Amino acid sequence: MSKNTNETILELKDVWKTYSMGEVDVTALKNITVEIKRGDFVAIIGASGSGKSTMMNLMGCLDVPTKGRIFLKSRDITSMSESELAALRGKTIGFIFQQYNLIPSLSAFENVLLPLEFLEHDDTNARARVTELLKTVGLSDKINNRPTQLSGGQQQRVSIARSLASNPEILLADEPTGALDSNTGKELLEMLTKLWKEQGKTIIMVTHDLNLAKYAHTTIELKDGEIIRKHQKSEGA
């Protein structure tokens, strides 16, 4: 672990999330309070339906809580407009999805460039950065390939490059190895660990796989929408 500090980068305070399913209200998260420290590698684990994806969506500013507050870098996101949230997401959080979620009509290069276009980065610098990122994930020779012309592992690497494009402080990975074979999954976790250790990224990973959780420094276990356990490895572990 490189830059784990005591500074809180993301905080959920008394957060509730209730979904309306027809006439029935389903509470996905119940009174969650959790702090994520800058530079931590957090695994959120739990069985299917435990509320981990909901928590991930809230942490990623993709959704707003029914009750409670969420602070990202000390800013209360629950009171932000959709445009402010979009800008904050783009700058601060990089997403790695289980199904990669690349835009099929765009090449690997264009997919990685997209976040920088939304953030209106200077074109020349943006292109140089994308080239560099694709080189880092080992896809220099595939930059013009569309997602359908890439293997699952390659697509996930493009997705990692995309998540890093705007140099975000937080990487949110939702079951990142879910669609990969074990070797490719292992490579991916090593890549995330490297980003955590060498670049000081805060990594939040949602997974049901306890083996993957071993890579994390902090583990939060959810059950029925509540945190049942929070475990932190001791320093040097």
Partner 1 sequence: MKVYKCFKHALGMVLHSKLRSWLTIIGIVIGVAAVIAIVSIAGGAQASLESQLNGLGGDILTVTPGFSRGGNSFGGRDFGGGGGQATTKAVTLTRTDVQVLRGTPNVYLVDTEIRGNVKVSYLSKNGTVSVTGVDQKVWSQITTSTIKEGRFLDSADQNVIVIGGRLASTYFSKPVGINQVISIEGNSYRVVGILNDQSSSIYMPIDMAFQIIPNKEQNIFDTLIIKMKDQDLLNETMTDIENRLMNSRHVTAATQDFSISSNAQQQATRAAALSSVTAFLVALAAVSLIVGAVGVANTMFTSVLEKTKEIGIMKAIGAANKDILLIFLFNSALIGFVGGAIGIIIGGILSGILPSLIGGGTVPFARGGFTAIVSLNSMLMAIAVSVGVGVIAGIIPAYQASKLKPVDALRYE
Which residues are at the interface with partner 1 (CB under 8 A)?
A: 57, 60, 62-63, 82-83, 86-87, 89-91, 95, 97, 101-103, 105-106, 114-115, 117-120, 162, 166
CA distance 63 to 60: 8
Least Cβ distance, residue 37 to partner 1 (angstroms)? 23
Name the residue nearer to partner 1 (CB basis): 79 or 183.
79
Alpha helices in 119-181 (DSSP H): 123-136, 152-164
Backbone torsions φ then ψ of 86, nearest 5 degrees = -60, -45
Beta-sheet strands, E only, within 38-104 = 41-46, 67-72, 75-76, 93-96
Least Cβ distance, residue 48 to partner 1 (angstroms)? 15
Least Cβ distance, residue 130 to partner 1 (angstroms)? 13
Distance of CA 126 to the CA centre of its chain: 21
DSSP label at residue 234: P
Name the residue nearer to partner 1 (CB basis): 118 or 215.
118
Least Cβ distance, residue 231 to partner 1 (angstroms)? 28
Encoded tokens for 134:
């694709």
Least Cβ distance, residue 82 to partner 1 (angstroms)? 6
Name the residue nearer to partner 1 (CB basis): 4 or 54.
54
Name the residue nearer to partner 1 (CB basis): 1 or 64.
64
Please compute Rg for the chain using Cα positions: 18
Name the residue nearer to partner 1 (CB basis): 63 or 209.
63
Positive or negative, the CA dihedral 150, 151, 152, 154 is: negative
Least Cβ distance, residue 103 to partner 1 (angstroms)? 6
**Cβ distance 165 to 95 under 8 Å?**
no
Name the residue nearer to partner 1 (CB basis): 89 or 217.
89
E strand or H helix at 100: none
CA distance 138 to 86: 29
**Cβ distance 102 to 158 under 8 Å?**
yes
Least Cβ distance, residue 93 to partner 1 (angstroms)? 8
Name the residue nearer to partner 1 (CB basis): 93 or 212.
93
**Cβ distance 142 to 154 under 8 Å?**
yes
